[in-house]
Amino acid sequence: MNAAVDAGAIPYDVAQVRAQFPILSRSINGRPLAYLDSAASTQRPRPVLDAVEHYETHLHANVHRGVHTLSQLATDAFEASRERVRRYLNAASSREIIFVRGATEAINLVAQSWGRPTLKPGDEILISSLEHHANIVPWQMACAATGAKLVVAPITACGELDFNAYLALLNERTRLVAMTHVSNALGTVLPVARIVAAARDKGIATLIDGAQAVAHQRVDVQALGCDFYAFSSHKLYGPTGLGVLYGREAMLEAMPPWQGGGDMIRTVSFQSSTWNELPYKFEAGTPHISGAIGLAAAMDFVESLGLQRIAAHEHSLLAQATDALSQIPGITLHGTAPHKAGVLSFTLKGVHPHDLGTILDHEGVAIRAGHHCAMPLMDLLGVPATARASFGCYSTAQEVEQLTRAVHKAREVFA
């Protein structure tokens, strides 16, 4: 869909995009807000806010339970959102779309429900050095419970996956490859199609953490061929508290439920229960209905802009920012892979990232300063933390200039 738009026929009007994000017009510390923290969470456009409000105002009731009209309307809207997500990911069936709380919960679901029953002592789970804690800790927990081992594929100096090392680590004990699509700390885009293909060749299951990818590029889970794909709504211009686990139907069918409660059962007696069909087997309790409605609206919004056009826009900002920051004396850029998303991690000599964060904030520039939930990666880089600027569909060249001026200001304060 939107082939003409995606081909870049219409110029990208960032002012018009920004006009749809009410929060972007506020000021911070008396200065215009330059929101450069979209990798942590994106802002919400008017259509998402409106869709949620419309749902809450006119359609809300509990889903999958009532014969009354509102319950039916809410259920229809909720299930339409699931279908919207299916289309966004090009999944084969909406039975493969599980609504969860976020990417973190999606990965935990797989670690619990697939990992614990499947893994045996000596089995290996292969991740990369780039992973977010959300794609490390659930596997450590599964390993502790099963005697399996976590193996980490190294990265190169510029922050790319060392692909040959990755291939060499795949072996007959490897049961799962769990890797990020895009690194949240460095912005590196991983060659997930090749990663998955190499694993599948050996009959190894695959999970891709798409938290940082879905807002920046088209994802086709069937073309990718992965078994699981996880992401969060709030990094895709949608509401917080909602995420998606895509799972290949055959995998999900074979997995036991992970939480028990309402909605996930077919029959319950005090002796035993039987499970509902997919996807409900994995959705115990009342879901985040308005979140799903908002996410569907966010997907409409993103596709109306065109993912390729958003990516091209973000790329030009990344190039501009990389150029401007690298000219500042004392700057080190972390992560310089040729294929990157709109994320720029940096440190400034003599200025700790937290001081940088405070000074930038004072200048109205919101960035993330810290370990980015990737402490092992920070250890590899030999820094306790970095400052990270990240871009979204609404980011502007002026904001990059504001960032650059603010970094200069930090140098002056610490001169």
Partner 1 sequence: MELQDLYREVILDHNKHPRNFGRLDPADAVANGHNPLCGDKLTVTLRLANDAIQDVKFEGNGCAISVASASMMTEAIKGKDRASVNQLFDKVHALLTQQDAPSTDLGKLAALSGVREFPARVKCASLCWHTLNAALATADAASAPAVSTE
Q: Rounded distance, CA 317 to CA 399, Å?
A: 9
The answer to whether 371 contacts partner 1 (rule: CB under 8 A) is: yes
Any idea which residue has 């009532």 for tokens? 66
**Residue of 143, 158, 226, 373 with catalytic role:** 373
- With CB under 6 A as the contact rule, the residue among 37, 123, 160, 209 that binds ligand PLP is 209
Count of C-beta atoms within a 10 Å radius of residue 311: 18
Is 226 a residue of the active site?
no
Alpha-carbon separation of residue 70 from 48, 74, 83, 166 (angstroms): 21, 6, 20, 52
Q: Based on the number of CB atoms within 10 Å of its own CB, is 147 exposed (0-12), middle (13-18) or buried (19 or more)?
A: exposed
- With CB under 6 A as the contact rule, the residue among 212, 345, 347, 386 that binds ligand PLP is 212
Q: Rounded distance, CA 260 to CA 46, Å?
A: 36
Pick 5 or 351: Cβ nearer partner 1: 351
Residues 6+ apart with CB under 8 A from 94: 79, 82, 83, 85, 86, 279
The answer to whether 384 contacts partner 1 (rule: CB under 8 A) is: yes
Which token pair is 10? 């219409």
CA 34, distance to chain mean position in Å, is 22
- With CB under 8 A as the contact rule, the residue among 12, 163, 275, 414 that binds partner 1 is 414
Pick 307 or 359: Cβ nearer partner 1: 359
The answer to whether 413 contacts partner 1 (rule: CB under 8 A) is: yes
The two beta strands, 331-334 and 386-390, are: unpaired
- With CB under 8 A as the contact rule, the residue among 369, 389, 403, 407 that binds partner 1 is 369
Cβ of residue 138: shortest distance to ligand PLP, in angstroms?
10
**Amino acid occupying residue 365:** V
Pick 152 or 383: Cβ nearer partner 1: 383
Cβ of residue 230: shortest distance to partner 1, in angstroms?
24
Tell me the number of residues near ligand PLP by CB under 6 A.
Answer: 14
- With CB under 8 A as the contact rule, the residue among 359, 365, 366, 381 that binds partner 1 is 359
Contact predicate 238/392, CB 8 Å = no
Cβ of residue 379: shortest distance to partner 1, in angstroms?
10
Q: Rounded distance, CA 47 to CA 21, Å?
A: 9
- With CB under 6 A as the contact rule, the residue among 36, 126, 134, 400 that binds ligand PLP is 134
The answer to whether 354 contacts partner 1 (rule: CB under 8 A) is: yes
The answer to whether 211 contacts ligand PLP (rule: CB under 6 A) is: yes
Any idea which residue has 């002012």 for tokens? 15
Cβ of residue 184: shortest distance to partner 1, in angstroms?
16
Any idea which residue has 């850029």 for tokens? 333
- With CB under 6 A as the contact rule, the residue among 48, 51, 52, 103 that binds ligand PLP is 103
Cβ of residue 384: shortest distance to partner 1, in angstroms?
4
The answer to whether 378 contacts partner 1 (rule: CB under 8 A) is: yes
CA 88, distance to chain mean position in Å, is 14
Contact predicate 255/232, CB 8 Å = no
371: helix, strand or coil: coil
Pick 215 or 373: Cβ nearer partner 1: 373
Pick 84 or 372: Cβ nearer partner 1: 372
| Per-state percent for the chain, helix, strand, coil, to nearest 5 | 45, 20, 35
The answer to whether 365 contacts partner 1 (rule: CB under 8 A) is: no
Any idea which residue has 């018009």 for tokens? 16
- Say whether the peptide bond before residue 11 is cis (omega within 30 degrees of 0): no
The answer to whether 179 contacts ligand PLP (rule: CB under 6 A) is: no
Contact of residue 362 among ligand PLP, partner 1, none (CB under 5-8 Å per partner type): partner 1
The answer to whether 232 contacts ligand PLP (rule: CB under 6 A) is: yes
Count of C-beta atoms within a 10 Å radius of residue 376: 15
Contact of residue 180 among ligand PLP, partner 1, none (CB under 5-8 Å per partner type): ligand PLP
Contact predicate 23/218, CB 8 Å = no
The answer to whether 408 contacts partner 1 (rule: CB under 8 A) is: no
Side-chain-facing half-sphere of 52: CA atoms under 13 Å: 17
Stretch that binds ligand PLP, among 206-214, 254-262, 358-366, 386-394 (CB under 6 A): 206-214
Which residue numbers are catalytic? 373
The residues of the shown chain that bind ligand PLP, judged by CB under 6 A, are 102-104, 132, 134-135, 180, 184, 209, 211-212, 232, 243, 373
The residues of the shown chain that bind partner 1, judged by CB under 8 A, are 29, 351-355, 358-359, 362, 369-371, 375, 378, 384-385, 413-414
